[in-house]
Amino acid sequence: MQKNADLYNLTQQLQGAMFQAGKKQYLASLSDEERDNQQQRPALLNIRGGYAESVGWMMVQLLEFDPEPLTVEKFRVRAVYSAPRLSQALLELIASEKWANRIGNDYSLTDEGRAVITQLSEQRNQMFANFKPLPEDELSKLVELSQRIIQASLESGDEQATWCLRFSNKRKPAEPVSSISKLIHVCSDYNAFRDDAHMSAYTAQGVDGMTWEAFSFIHGGQAHTTDDLFNQLAYRGWTVAEWQDALNCLADKGWIDGDESGYQSTEKGNTISDKVEQKTDDLFYTPWDILSEDEQVEYVHLLNMLNDRCLTLC
For the four alpha carbons of 80, 161, 273 and 289, in that order, the dihedral sign comes to negative
Tell me, what's the pLDDT at 70? 97
* Cα 77 off chain centre by: 13
Dmax over Cα atoms in the chain, in whole Å? 62
DSSP string computed for 95-162: HHTTSEEEETTEEEE-HHHHHHHHHHHHHHHHHHTT--SS-HHHHHHHHHHHHHHHHHHHTSS-TTTT
Is the pLDDT at 9 greater than 80, yes or no? yes
Burial class (CB in 10 A: 0-12, 13-18, 19+), 195: buried
Strands (E), 172-293: 256-259, 262-265
Per-residue confidence band for 232, with pLDDT thresholds at 50, 70 and 90: very high
Report the alpha-carbon distance of residue 141 to residue 297 in Å, rounded: 13
Least confident range from 7-16, 61-70, 117-126, 215-224: namely 117-126
Tell me, what's the pLDDT at 151? 98
SS3 297: helix
SS3 70: strand
Is the pLDDT at 297 greater than 80, yes or no? yes
Tell me, what's the pLDDT at 189? 98
Please give the model's pTM, rounded to 2 decimal places.
0.94
Q: What is the pLDDT of residues 184-199, one digit of tens each?
A: 999 999 999 999 999 9
Average pLDDT over the chain, rounded to an integer: 95
Is the pLDDT at 1 greater than 70, yes or no? no
Is the pLDDT at 50 greater than 90, yes or no? no
SS3 5: helix
Tell me, what's the pLDDT at 77? 92
